[in-house]
Amino acid sequence: SQTIHQWPATLVQPVGSPLSLECTVEGTSNPNLYWYRQAAGRGLQLLFYSIGIDQISSEVPQNLSASRPQDRQFILSSKKLLLSDSGFYLCAWSAAGMSRGYTFGSGTRLTVV
């Protein structure tokens, strides 16, 4: 069966520090991968999505970047965190050609101080 792993679960980082959040999917190949951010009490905002290795599309220009060095690995990064980067980050995957089946990771709660 397919599983998605996301870590760390919580993170407290100072302003100006770098960030690296990792997401991996098991049990499938060539998944579509997504990074979402959820501000407190709000809906989810799509940040990046990827249909393949090194194929990244950005939805919102900002302080963050994403990379997909391997088929089932998706990384969210920042060189210098801002206070406004605080939030709940969720990774998700969907199978290419499927109409449903967006599965989310357990999320990372990031607090920038």
Partner 1 sequence: AQKITQTQPGMFVQEKEAVTLDCTYDTSDQSYGLFWYKQPSSGEMIFLIYQGSYDEQNATEGRYSLNFQKARKSANLVISASQLGDSAMYFCAMREGSSGSARQLTFGSGTQLTVLP
Closer by beta carbon to partner 1, 30 or else 79: 30
Tell me: does residue 90 bind partner 1 (CB under 8 A). Answer: yes
Residue 16 Cβ vs partner 1, minimum distance, rounded to whole Å: 26
Residue 75 Cβ vs partner 1, minimum distance, rounded to whole Å: 17
Nearest to 110 by CA among 92, 84, 73, 80: 84
Backbone angles phi, psi at 29, to 5 degrees: -130, 150
Q: By CB under 8 A, name the binding residues for partner 1.
A: 32, 34, 42-46, 49-51, 57, 59, 88, 90, 92, 94, 96-104, 106-107, 109
